[in-house]
Amino acid sequence: MPTQNELPLLHSNKYSADLACGHCDGVIRHEPWCITQNASVRYAYQVITDPTHLSLADHLILHALGVTWTAQKIRLKPR
């Protein structure tokens, strides 16, 4: 006969620590800075902001596809 001091075998909360993000430990939501901890995503952001970060392999792949990955200067038109 179970006593009232016994804990239930299953917890009703569907979230647990083993489901936490490996970067920010977020279980339900990620921290705002979390995305920068992923090396692939960080590389993509760096390449977007500065084309000199593009690796040689990626440069060759883009070249083979006919893509030129360069910085573009934005020209403001006078009104």
H-state helical runs in 1-65:
39-49, 56-64
71 vs 49: CA distance, rounded Å = 8
AA identity, residue 25 = D
Does pTM top 0.75 for this prediction?
no
Tens digits of per-residue pLDDT, 20-45? 777 677 777 777 777 656 788 788 87
Question: How many angstroms separate the Cα of 31 from the Cα of each of 16, 17, 42, 45, 58?
Answer: 17, 15, 15, 18, 30
Domain boundaries, the chain: 19-64
Half-sphere exposure of 71 (CA within 13 A, CB side): 7
Question: What is the band of 56 on the pLDDT scale with cuts at 50, 70, 90?
Answer: very high
The three-state secondary structure class of 52 is: helix
